[in-house]
Structure 1
């Protein structure tokens, strides 16, 4: 090889050439030939419309035409082929699509064009019509579209129509067409987990449908009734309306479901679920029942006790203001039952005053009305106490009495019958423990005694037996640390420390979790959708100075990791946070 010269690359044996312009222009040329009737060999007819075409183009574009022209059918040799039942404008659109790959789909044309595309086996045109019809869906036509999708075996349109039907259920149920839907259609709609309606409204809709033709439809009531999620029906409605409805009382199977639900709702020590209600009782909530985080009360921006109530919607990732508390309450307790927020006791604080008066008052807030109401007061005033809920019961535990002395009192409130009663007191009264309810038991973990010494103990209250037991453990040393339950574990977060631990109630042991970023106390923790949300509180910075927090953090047990959810609208501590269930009906919560 000569110096300074590069080796030449060997010449290829084959050049793979592809003329892209030929492929793109071929259909245009064929369409020009069609319009000029050059080399056309068949005429497609419908009504007065006649369109000359090339058999080979039609055969290449559709299995339908392939079978027609490449078999022993008589159309294979006929110069004219009549396509019956097809509007002329639809045939013109189909032929234009075959020769150009383009079609103008309008509201008037979409349905017959989709039917033609289905018959002639133009799959992509069929899906294009489906996509267009999906954009036109609303409460007024979703049932018709659902039937169309079933008739044409169009999965994409059927799924979208079902979604709109579920999302717009109140409007759909109020439409003139709804009473005429079939039993199969109604059963399918009621079984959709995305249904945006409360169970009470679903029940009323079922009754209206049955009453529309009671002689023929009464026998279907049980099957429809079994689609209700009775777990999410308020006990008052269940007893006073559902159980008293004549159509329900005339059905032994419906009564069996009602009685099983009543036993589960009204008895703390209920027997295992009968098979008749198993699936319904354990079924997941409907998509409409969003579990939202609600913050209420507390000390705002380190100044005064707040009357604010805030709701965080995970869908929009936004905070929304709810109705303000009627009075300023400091160191109250908070719980929720059947989608209703309860604020119990606390110190009533007058504007400009730092001294409060112990209260026995109970206030409730429902997302349905966004209005505060007064409920039956507690048996005695309490503040710095704890409250938890189970079924339709509320329990308040401990705290400080009117004389400022540490109390071990336990009171139970029956929200169904609006009654308070005294239960067995705590063996060892404690202040600022971590409290959680799980599996018919209340766990009071740690806290401090009257001399402000940490209590290394778990106190367990058995609801059905009204009995307490104590478990001594060196793993417990928490004060002003909230608790929340996920699965069978009680998560205890912070309390003058960064530590997060989980108490496994089944194994009776503690599991260490990833620690928080800051030492936190007087904060709040709530479990929503199997994640732990920690809000506000006070923290100790690197200079050992206590600061108020506007932090909003999330702990995921699956990954054992913390993440920030941003900031609260203001700094907040000694507040309440609860997971409150509301029916969104396809819209955001009321702000």
Structure 2
């Protein structure tokens, strides 16, 4: 005979825990069934042992073990004020408590002593909400006294994120040497390396008698590779404290020799300092500048792409419209070199040698030392502290093979060995002490099927004929030891392996593209704008924004530019950000 299963209705009264606590608190207030008095500063608070035991391991040990308090009717809690104890008992019976700046510290100490972990963390959260650059260092000291890791981590996070403001506080000047060293070597420190150096100087000068000897240890925490050479050799090298240290002067001399030889290889002693990566807060961001906008006129716009919002932000406009200028970034500064400028009023154009610079710190354009030769439709590339300008068209309207180099260490231009074969619109990239010039076209618009290689430290050119190279108006970019040549009147993208001296085919572009721009950020290739040949062989301007990942050999769309654009610059510009990096 089959048994009919009984129906079960599971009921949970969500209001019951609160009701029960409320009733227990009423019993406590009316002193019904209370069996112990917690005493502090002549105040006695009646409680139920069972409630205290259930709420805290401290009271469980006190009342359920062989401690003398287990049989006492009155328990004196030393070191806890009466108002704090009242607040804790109210919390035990209701789960609620009001935390203020007046009681937070004694409350936190009492919560730690009585093993109320959640209450301890609530006090920590309250203090975290009060954090500011002015008090974060004192909060760190407090967190160490209280053994509160959550407060310590949040306070230190603010100290490194707001380093500029924190460094001006009196608490900063009182840091010990190990504490300061810990900050200076932190990858999260939000500061340019010039400021790191100035901060350690200020710390030493606060107590020069006892701190001057620390200069060599602190100096090794400054990431010299990312300091502008002019600042390094004119200001840092001449500082009396630096000059007083043999180790500091030896480091600077090693950097000077490395830069003068234009070599990427450094001595064994310098290598650990020179190869230290940028801090996390020094992030690369994509900047798009100049070019032809919507096929109407040469653009003065400069745009910055925000990875967090996936939006474009407008920077200060170029001082004037420049057709086919060259663009490069070095030392966190954007350079716009030469170009064809329109003479106002006359409608005539002139070839320019002017160099404009933009720093994100000021968001203002300035003029720098002009090039030796006016030119447009030329190429530029940076390497170490140099900017190289190659070819283009000069005032005589002819394609030039000339090369000149800007030395940011001495702030001057110099003429270098010319290219063996003048080429217009080649793909250019620098890697491992060499500049590679791929293809382009000659004065008759015939393809130049050459790889021209310039050895930077020897100032010598060599060239190699190859049928693989047939690019025109294609950019090149370096990822690790490969140079990627992106399109150029074709969908094809190829990578030149500089070590193996061979080409590798990559995933094609989606359209036949030319006059576009490409740059590398975080080992991914970003391609912007250009002109495309559609299926009917008609040329169209493009606002595309795409990303190529060499690890997966695949392209993904990043949306679009705010307008159609070609013959522009697309560059990685390093800026300091106190915002956390996107996931």
TM over 0.5: yes
1:427 lines up with 2:424 in the alignment? no
For the 8 Å contact 1:194–1:288, the answer to whether it is kept is yes
Aligned counterpart, 1:309:
302
1:163 lines up with 2:157 in the alignment? yes
- Closer, same or farther: CA 8–352 of 1 in aligned 2, 3 Å: farther
Q: Measure, in 2, the Cα distance between the counterparts of 1:297 and 1:17.
A: 69
Q: Measure, in 1, the Cα distance between the counterparts of 2:97 and 2:55.
A: 15
For the 8 Å contact 1:260–1:274, the answer to whether it is kept is no
Offset at 1:522?
0.5
Alignment TM-score, normalising by the size of structure 1: 0.92
Q: Measure, in 2, the Cα distance between the counterparts of 1:586 and 1:10.
A: 61
What pairs with 1:251-290 in structure 2 (closer than 5 Å)?
A: 251-269=245-263, 271-275=265-269, 277-290=270-283
Offset at 1:375?
2.1
Residue-by-residue CA offset, 1:252-287 (whole Å, 9 max, x unaligned): 222233233333344312543433x43332222223
- Higher mean alpha-carbon deviation, 302-311 vs 207-216, is at 302-311
For the 8 Å contact 2:138–2:171, the answer to whether it is kept is no
1:312 alignment partner, SS class: strand
1:158 alignment partner, SS class: helix
Q: Measure, in 2, the Cα distance between the counterparts of 1:538 and 1:172.
A: 49
2:428 alignment partner, SS class: strand
Pairing partner for 1:297 from 275, 290, 294: 290
Pairing partner for 1:137 from 131, 134, 149: 131
Aligned counterpart, 1:127:
121
Residue-by-residue CA offset, 1:182-215 (whole Å, 9 max, x unaligned): 2232222222222222111121111111111111
Offset at 1:541?
2.4
For the 8 Å contact 1:196–1:586, the answer to whether it is kept is no
For the 8 Å contact 1:328–1:350, the answer to whether it is kept is no
Offset at 1:133?
2.0
Q: Measure, in 2, the Cα distance between the counterparts of 1:92 and 1:369.
A: 55
Pairing partner for 1:512 from 502, 505, 508: 505
Offset at 1:561?
2.6
Aligned counterpart, 1:243:
237
Q: Measure, in 2, the Cα distance between the counterparts of 1:271 and 1:557.
A: 26
What pairs with 1:92-131 in structure 2 (closer than 5 Å)?
A: 92-131=86-125
For the 8 Å contact 1:115–1:152, the answer to whether it is kept is yes
- Closer, same or farther: CA 250–380 of 1 in aligned 2, 3 Å: same
- Closer, same or farther: CA 73–222 of 1 in aligned 2, 3 Å: farther
For the 8 Å contact 2:230–2:408, the answer to whether it is kept is no
- Closer, same or farther: CA 134–378 of 1 in aligned 2, 3 Å: same
Q: Measure, in 1, the Cα distance between the counterparts of 2:412 and 2:571.
A: 22
1:326 lines up with 2:299 in the alignment? no
Pairing partner for 1:378 from 371, 379, 385: 371
Offset at 1:587?
11
For the 8 Å contact 2:264–2:384, the answer to whether it is kept is no
Offset at 1:9?
4.1
2:103 alignment partner, SS class: helix
What pairs with 1:521-532 in structure 2 (closer than 5 Å)?
A: 521-532=514-525
1:547 alignment partner, SS class: strand
- Closer, same or farther: CA 177–53 of 1 in aligned 2, 3 Å: same
**Where in structure 1 are there 5+ consecutive unaligned residues?**
2-6
Aligned counterpart, 1:545:
538
1:177 alignment partner, SS class: helix
Pairing partner for 1:495 from 484, 488, 491: 488
Q: Measure, in 2, the Cα distance between the counterparts of 1:287 and 1:270.
A: 23
1:380 alignment partner, SS class: coil
For the 8 Å contact 1:292–1:313, the answer to whether it is kept is yes
Aligned counterpart, 1:61:
55
Q: Measure, in 2, the Cα distance between the counterparts of 1:222 and 1:63.
A: 51
Aligned counterpart, 2:361:
368
What pairs with 1:161-200 in structure 2 (closer than 5 Å)?
A: 161-200=155-194
For the 8 Å contact 1:301–1:548, the answer to whether it is kept is yes
For the 8 Å contact 2:289–2:569, the answer to whether it is kept is yes
For the 8 Å contact 2:340–2:349, the answer to whether it is kept is yes
Q: Measure, in 1, the Cα distance between the counterparts of 2:12 and 2:542.
A: 67
Offset at 1:351?
5.0
Residue-by-residue CA offset, 1:47-103 (whole Å, 9 max, x unaligned): 243222222322222222233333343333332222223233322222222222333
Aligned counterpart, 1:466:
459
For the 8 Å contact 1:333–1:344, the answer to whether it is kept is yes
Offset at 1:574?
0.6
Offset at 1:155?
2.3
1:201 alignment partner, SS class: helix
1:197 alignment partner, SS class: coil
2:504 alignment partner, SS class: strand
Q: Measure, in 2, the Cα distance between the counterparts of 1:27 and 1:335.
A: 69
Q: Measure, in 2, the Cα distance between the counterparts of 1:186 and 1:389.
A: 34
Aligned counterpart, 1:4:
none
1:465 alignment partner, SS class: coil
